[in-house]
Amino acid sequence: MTESQLPRANPKAVPPIVRGLRCAACGTRVEVATPLTWRCPNAKGNDRHHVLLIESDVAPLRRTKHTNPFIAFRRYLAWDAFAVAHGMSEPDRDALIEELDARIAKVAGTGFVFTPFARADKLSDALGFSLNGGVWVKDETHNVAGSQKSRHLFTELLHLVAAERLNLAPWKSNARPPLAIASCGNAAFAASTLARALEWPIKVFVPEHADAALVQRLRDLRADVVHCPRRSADPPGDPCVHRFREATASGAIPFGVQGPENAWCLDGGRTIGWEMAYVAEHMEPPLIARLFVQVGGGAFAASLAEGFHAGGTRAALHAVQAEGCAPLALAWQASAKYPTAVAAAAHWRECMTPWAKTPQSFADGILDDETYDWVSVCRAMRASGGSPVVASERYVREAYELAHRTTGIDVSPTGASGLAGLLAARDRVADDERVAIVFSGIRRETPKPA
């Protein structure tokens, strides 16, 4: 599908909560009513130095009593504003969420629900926090497909299906173009799970030496798995992303968790932060002071921070990467001379460059060559007084062991790497501070020894 084939935006008014989408790099504005607009219109060819950010006013944060976060916080979601703009009624919007959720639950064994967020007492004690301080853990390991990735993808799916049913998509449900994603971990599994639930074909672009067990799980979900060796003629960056972009240029639908490729992924990711903020709002003081969030491509940290800060709590965001692949820390330094992170976005090539070495870490799920959503992450760190943290491999491994020993949560090394950032920064965190981390993905295999 080419951009010229996309239907025009419907001019109907949208709710004031979501005003639209605006490119951080060039300022181009896209109406939220515009269907199937994944990227900034100025992101031509392989130029992905643009990203559409959702313009919205969430505060004061409120929720309904529904157990599904996509219904409880529906009025704040951009996909919902899109559906409203095209005349879809409130009962129909709720029904669409419930229908897709039920279909996903048949494949995944669970639908979307609020996930636990509470003080981890044994972990807090092990790290020497006082009774008033400590570590609050958001446990995403029992979410759909075992990680938070499904949240990002669900709003993409809602947008797609709503566009179909509103006759805004240039295809029929029995002749859908394939979805496409570049991933070697939880995002690939989540995308394939959602695609299987709707019997939507999907291509998954994985590294040349992708884990065999993961590849088999993807094929069990009927995904078309494409191995992507590095080619000498390729530009710098991830070969899986290069092949993914070739597929989307040929008509596949981007269905991943990178904002520059599909801005709708930033929509659903905010539900994690809203859930955390809602709990934090009802805590006895003191407030959560810091968020330690692992970063690969950056959409997770960007969305979580936006959602959490909507609750009015300006906890300092610390974006955590492993020392074996830390392009965000370099971008943070390079962008510091510009007055804002959005101003730095106009100098994308200067600030965010692909990691020069072969990425490597025990936390292999955050080894993105680039932090694609660096603008939003840096903006959130600046606004909250946070900063990036680069964790050594010692801390990455220690965090994984400590998480299992003190919490009983079967988290993966990648999923526990936010804790690695806390370990690396522990001497700068007061004993009576309250900090939050997210265990973002379940362990699927026993990690290989060093």
CATH number assigned to the domain comprising residue 98: 3.40.50.1100
List the Cα angle 331/411/240 in 5-degree steps: 50
Of the three residues 239, 266, 293, the one that is the final residue of a domain is: 266
Residues 227-252, mean pLDDT to the nearest whole number: 91
Coil, strand or helix at 28: coil
Please report, for the chain, how many H helices and E strands are present, in that order: 17, 13
Together in a domain, 235 and 307: no
| Residue labelled with tokens 């229908």 | 99
Pairing verdict, β 52-56 and 18-23: antiparallel
**pLDDT tens readout for residues 91-136:** 999 999 999 999 999 999 999 999 999 999 999 999 999 999 999 9
Residue 372 lies in a domain: yes
Whether 345 has a pLDDT exceeding 70, the answer reads yes
Residue 261 lies in a domain: yes
Counting the structural domains of the chain, the total is: 2
Together in a domain, 235 and 355: no
Residue 125 lies in a domain: yes
Task: Give the residue numbers spanning the domain of 248.
Answer: 3-106+149-266
Of the three residues 251, 266, 281, the one that is the final residue of a domain is: 266
Residue 448 lies in a domain: no
Residues 328-356, mean pLDDT to the nearest whole number: 96
Together in a domain, 254 and 290: no
Letter for the amino acid at 158? L
**pLDDT tens readout for residues 282-291:** 888 889 999 9
Confidence of residue 234 (pLDDT cuts 50, 70, 90): confident
Best CA proximity match to 371, nearest among 241, 274, 273, 264: 241
Residue 450 lies in a domain: no
Together in a domain, 256 and 306: no
Handedness of CA 213, 296, 269, 135 (dihedral sign): positive
pLDDT of residue 440: 94
Letter for the amino acid at 17? I
Together in a domain, 86 and 213: yes
Confidence of residue 450 (pLDDT cuts 50, 70, 90): very low
Residue 447 lies in a domain: no
Q: What is the rounded CA–CA span in Å between residue 107 and residue 145?
A: 9
Together in a domain, 364 and 217: no
**pLDDT tens readout for residues 420-438:** 999 999 999 999 999 999 9
Mean pLDDT over all residues of the chain?
92
Residue 446 lies in a domain: no
Q: What is the rounded CA–CA span in Å between residue 290 and residue 268?
A: 22
Together in a domain, 219 and 312: no
For helices 78-85 and 149-165, the axis angle rounded to 10 degrees is 10
Residues 23-39, mean pLDDT to the nearest whole number: 95
Together in a domain, 309 and 362: yes
Whether 231 has a pLDDT exceeding 80, the answer reads yes
Residue 16 lies in a domain: yes
> Phi/psi of residue 23, each to 5°?
-75, 125
Together in a domain, 284 and 337: yes
pLDDT of residue 185: 85
DSSP bridge pairs for 136: 119, 436
Q: What is the rounded CA–CA span in Å between residue 165 and residue 425?
A: 49
pLDDT of residue 221: 97
**pLDDT tens readout for residues 365-379:** 899 999 999 999 999
Confidence of residue 145 (pLDDT cuts 50, 70, 90): very high
Task: List Cβ neighbours of 338 (8 Å cut-off, separation of 6 or more).
Answer: 344, 347
Q: What is the rounded CA–CA span in Å between residue 349 and residue 339?
A: 17
Q: What is the rounded CA–CA span in Å between residue 329 and residue 297?
A: 13
Q: What is the rounded CA–CA span in Å between residue 171 and residue 191?
A: 20
Together in a domain, 342 and 435: yes
Together in a domain, 427 and 319: yes
Together in a domain, 90 and 177: yes
Confidence of residue 15 (pLDDT cuts 50, 70, 90): very low
Of the three residues 249, 266, 283, the one that is the final residue of a domain is: 266
